Amino acid sequence: MSLLLVLASETVYAQMQTRVGILPIVNYNYKINKNWDINFRLESRHFVFENNISENSNFKYEYSLSDISALVGRKTGLNSKFVLGFLTRIEPDAVSYRTIQQFIFQTKIESFRVAHRIATDQTFSSNEATEFRLRYRVSAEIPLSGQKLDVKEFYFKFNTEVLNSIQDNVYDLEFRIVPNIGYVINEQHKIELGLDNRFESFINNQTRLISWITINWFL
């Protein structure tokens, strides 16, 4: 399986424009009461590698952006919630803002939990037209020891997402495939190491891949 993934990645890297970066994320979750919770998230993106088809590949550090967001969730059922939020994106030469709406529901298949997220968002900035996105993500958690995830245990988490966007009457499509290895430090903290592969611009036939090495801390 790992060999297949490596071979597939090498083929992909050779054929399309690829960028690789590091993406540390801090996710703070706070339960306000039995129905409401809040999520604060801080992430920062740093490119470290670039591979253009026409040019030689090279290692080059470049700061990309930072996101700060706050989401408020309201339980709508035993395993479902509706979420509203706001994100601020800080880039070296611009700041943009995003409003977010999500519906999340969970199911369980044998010993692993699956979460589905249907989301819309709107990104506003002073120098570009507003971008509207409709996205669907499915995330599965598989405990690596036993049938249930416990403290001091590892787990595998796999996210896959499809994103439709429209900006200035131009439609685009993006896919994300994100394998993660996680560890439950204690009841409050989890840490995940993953590879967030984003295949962008599918429609224009100029697909490029951005792979983020993610380190995600949940507290």
Partner 1 sequence: MKTTIIISSISFLLLFPFVSIAQHKYEREYRMKSEMIPQSAKRFIDSISTDLKVKWYKEIGLNDVSFEAKFKHKNKQFSVEFDTLGILQDVEFVIKKCEIAPKVYNKIKGKLDSLYQKWKFQKIQMNYTGSNNNLITSIKKNKPTDRIKFSYEIVLKGKALGNTHLYEITFNDQGEMQNIQQIVQDKADHLEY
What is the Cα 215 distance to its own chain's centre? 11
Q: What angle do CA 79, 146, 77 make, to 5 degrees?
A: 5
Partners of residue 96 on adjacent β-strands: 89, 125
Residue 130 has phi, psi (to 5 degrees) of -65, 135
Report in angstroms how near the CB of residue 42 gets to partner 1 at its nearest: 5
**Does position 106 bind partner 1 by CB under 8 A?**
yes
Contact 200, 212 (CB under 8 A): no
**Does position 139 bind partner 1 by CB under 8 A?**
yes
Between the alpha carbon of residue 130 and those of residues 133, 175, 202, the distances in Å are 10, 21, 20
- To the nearest 10°, report the CA torsion of 191, 189, 98, 137: 60
For partner 1, what does the binding mask look like between residues 57 and 76, x meaning CB under 8 A?
Answer: ------x--x-x--x-x---
**SS3 call for 21:** strand
For partner 1, what does the binding mask look like between residues 9 and 48, x meaning CB under 8 A?
Answer: -----------------xxxxx---x----xxxx-x----
**Does position 100 bind partner 1 by CB under 8 A?**
no
Which residue, 131 or 141, has its beta carbon nearer to partner 1? 141
Report in angstroms how near the CB of residue 36 gets to partner 1 at its nearest: 13
**Does position 176 bind partner 1 by CB under 8 A?**
no
**Does position 3 bind partner 1 by CB under 8 A?**
no
Residue list 178-197, contact with partner 1 (CB under 8 A): 182, 186-190, 192
Residues 148 and 138: their CA atoms lie apart, in Å, by: 19
**Does position 109 bind partner 1 by CB under 8 A?**
no
**Does position 128 bind partner 1 by CB under 8 A?**
no
Q: Are strands 190-200 and 112-125 parallel, antiparallel or unpaired?
A: unpaired
Report in angstroms how near the CB of residue 157 gets to partner 1 at its nearest: 7
Exposed, middle or buried: residue 178 (CB in 10 Å: 0-12, 13-18, 19+)?
Answer: buried
Query: Which range of residues in 108-116, 127-135, 167-175, 195-203 is near partner 1 by CB under 8 A?
Result: 108-116
* Interface contacts to partner 1, rule CB under 8 A: 26-30, 34, 39-42, 44, 63, 66, 68, 71, 73, 77-78, 81, 83, 90, 92, 104, 106, 113-115, 117, 139, 141, 145-153, 157, 182, 186-190, 192, 216, 218-219
